[in-house]
Structure 1
Amino acid sequence: MAFLLLLAVKESNRKDPIQQASWLLGCWENKTSIGSTYESWTEVNELEFSGKSYAVKGKDTMVFETIQLIQKEEELFYIPSVKKQNEGLPVAFKMVEISESFMKFENKAHDFPQAISYTRISSDSLVAEISGEREGQIKKVLFPMKRIN
């Protein structure tokens, strides 16, 4: 009986992967020498977050990609749809690692990137990274971001 009680307590304390990613919610800015890009995340429901990356030029907003972060059973999937790539169709990246401050997704069959990760630096700072092999060389691109809301 004590074993079942301990198991029930352990299960109730376990966080689903999507809950571990909740620090991603909000709007993030990446400032560069040529302007700012933004990544915005909202909660759709308890098993899905919706994201988009975009730039604002004057009164125009240019969306580069839309993203779904979806939990299916115990697995988490990062599913971007990028304009002018893959005919605009979504590509799924499966979670390979997650903690309270880090998450990494992979799709080794994708051309580039094969990995996408987010590292939480503080409550208002994170670094997104895309990486993988391109033209026979390992490439890595970092996107440091600050929370703007």
Structure 2
Amino acid sequence: MSAAALLPATLPARLGARVLDVIVVLGLNLALGQAIGFGFDWLVLGAALILGYFVAGDTLFGATFGKRALGLRVITAEGERPSAAQALRRELFVVVGAVPFVGPILALGIWVWMLVAIRSSPLAQGPHDTFAGGTRVVRG
């Protein structure tokens, strides 16, 4: 089946997948914090852990745990799994929340921007998908 024929994932499905993934990375980060303490090292390593989780999932499997659980996957414009560089560009926004003080506010703004863009895009693509070279989250 061609990439153009694949149906975009619905916004509720994408949000559900992200919630499942956040639960996974929250558990991993809490375990990391318990092991090394919740200081600056944890902030840096935790951000790297979160980014690595999303990049590895999309690059190696075409989907993270949350996406797979809901029958979704990430593809490139050509219908392939994203490369590590594409997945990194697609998920780079997740580390914004780790910036001390302003990070959570910036992250919230980015989330709103992405949700509005996904809703208004015919292929349900957000700015992070465009930044990654036209990736898409599709059903199946």
Q: Same fold (TM over 0.5)?
A: no
- TM-score of the pair, normalised by structure 2: 0.28
More helix by share: 2
* Structure number with higher relative contact order (C-alpha < 8 Å, ≥ 6 residues apart): 2
More strand by share: 1
Indicate the structure (1 or 2) with the bigger Cα radius of gyration: 1
